[in-house]
Structure 1
């Protein structure tokens, strides 16, 4: 239509002047000042080499060129408005979108069963896949769109990403229900004398348990070290090992594996579990819906620390 694409706002002013035929009424409708509308019209006149509107006793009357352009301008603006409304609309009940989540094995155990139950009832066409990214590549995967969201204790994503905390969780000591230490408060001496299963959990903050224990003068006699949490239930159910794990993982494992949890005999700091997403996904309606769904299902109201 002659004007640069960056001057779309000029065509909005043009369309409003065609509707109102008055600078003051156009300014009021657009929430602009009268000088701003006049300046926009002046820019269009220079770009198109035509007066476009001529002041008369009955208002701003369009020139023949303005009259000829008006239908195309109105249609183009309507199409843009429709496109914006389509972007703003996300219907989970009819969507077949696949969401890609960055989750640790703890996240898969804790988040996925209730999330999939919710989706089955509320958004049956939506699919979910999880990707296990090395910590060094997590930021790149979110920025590049390979991941829609990441969930967990991810200190490497503190800068350059949006974050919404879901909950704080304590660490607890987990063991089989028939363990000799299962039926009494766990003392520091008994904790140090027992044999432990240690989960290193590279790329998350969960690997810092030994450092936190050491600050309170406690050491673990580590008999077995594994790089992930997925086998913890099986390993504890068949041994007399103890494991210091996040509380919500313990809750998920207790019933299926016949385990019990006891407080760790030291005030370990709580782990902040959060949602993380990149700026490119911040306004995406589907991503916003999933973030709100996860926050409603798993978020905890603010309260005193545990």
Structure 2
């Protein structure tokens, strides 16, 4: 009895595939929404493609913009993985059932704060890095204008900095929402909004991206930029005359996160990326990309320039409460009404 040619061909192809390395055998596609800086997104995706052979389509947007996109696409998801960006919108996405549970076998390699982020969301997101909030200033311009160096939140709301502060818009930026929630926890809600109205008079621009104010400080476009401190470190490492401040009153922090989008078309590839992105090798790519966050894998190298939490006065940031959809929506709505809409 003759063996059909198609069967022979299939058996030959299977035998050949078994002899090939994993990267050569891997097939498939993956769509990743990336919410860190472009300079980190691209080498991450390229390294994953090299390691697996899976083709990656990547879109870079801020945390707030990505959350809006995922919500808009809920009935017809186009993305598979959301990688990076502040944890608050990831937690909100989990609460809104926009992401799915996945318990990676890599969890036992992670710091407690990263695993805690996963537990709080029923394992619908996980921490991939952490970074403290603060501000930077252009030392050259400050000296030229003979303005005392700011060391506290209170300093940058003073008249000396009128029109000289940049910060992102919390509607589009997870960084800015972290600032909003930090000040409320640090000062109490009413004093925080009194402060934010005073700070508003000094703001020259609310940017879309949370990292943009650090770049504006580096070029002298603005004197002060409120960002995560690692974004300012990048500018300093590249030679910009900036000084970095962990505010004297205390400050909050982010747990940058990763989630698999509900309805992902490439679920197998999404889980493979998820596991890979939690590895020490993948997280080491941050150093090459001049990203100075603290990695979540205990075995990943920590850049020597990375701001250490032990050197900064940190608050006990309540991620569960301030990452909820209700509180996030309420705070941003109040900020829009009482701060952004106010006169300068």
1:211 Cα offset (Å): 5.2
Alignment pair present for 1:148 and 2:70: no
1:286 aligned partner: 269
Separation in 2, partners of 1:268, 1:223: 22
Structure 1 residues 78-113: Cα deviation after superposition (integer angstroms, max 9, x where no partner) = x9xx9xxx9xxx944554644322233xx1336314
Structure 1 residues 172-205: Cα deviation after superposition (integer angstroms, max 9, x where no partner) = 2123352437996714453323331021142453
Q: Which runs of 5+ in 1 are unaligned?
A: 1-78
Alignment pair present for 1:118 and 2:47: yes
1:130 Cα offset (Å): 0.8
1:224 Cα offset (Å): 2.1
Q: Which runs of 5+ in 2 are unaligned?
A: 1-10, 100-123, 284-294, 299-307, 315-344
1:199 aligned partner: 168
Cα pair distance change 1:272/1:233, threshold 3 Å: closer
Does the 8 Å contact 1:143/1:278 carry over to 2?
A: no
CA-based RMSD of the aligned residues comes to 4.0
SS of 1:150's partner is strand
- Alignment of structure 1 residues 16-35 onto 2, 5 Å: none
2:132 aligned partner: 170
Cα pair distance change 1:142/1:249, threshold 3 Å: farther
2:30 aligned partner: 99
1:233 Cα offset (Å): 4.5
Structure 1 residues 279-300: Cα deviation after superposition (integer angstroms, max 9, x where no partner) = 5459933212211222223341
1:277 aligned partner: 260
Does the 8 Å contact 2:172/2:209 carry over to 1?
A: no
2:205 aligned partner: 224
1:164 Cα offset (Å): 1.5
1:20 aligned partner: none
Does the 8 Å contact 1:93/1:125 carry over to 2?
A: no
Question: TM-score scaled to structure 2, two decimals?
Answer: 0.51
Cα pair distance change 1:234/1:137, threshold 3 Å: closer
Does the 8 Å contact 2:32/2:57 carry over to 1?
A: yes
Question: TM-score scaled to structure 1, two decimals?
Answer: 0.57
User: What number of residue pairs does the alignment pair up?
Assistant: 220
Alignment pair present for 1:130 and 2:59: yes
Cα pair distance change 1:273/1:175, threshold 3 Å: same
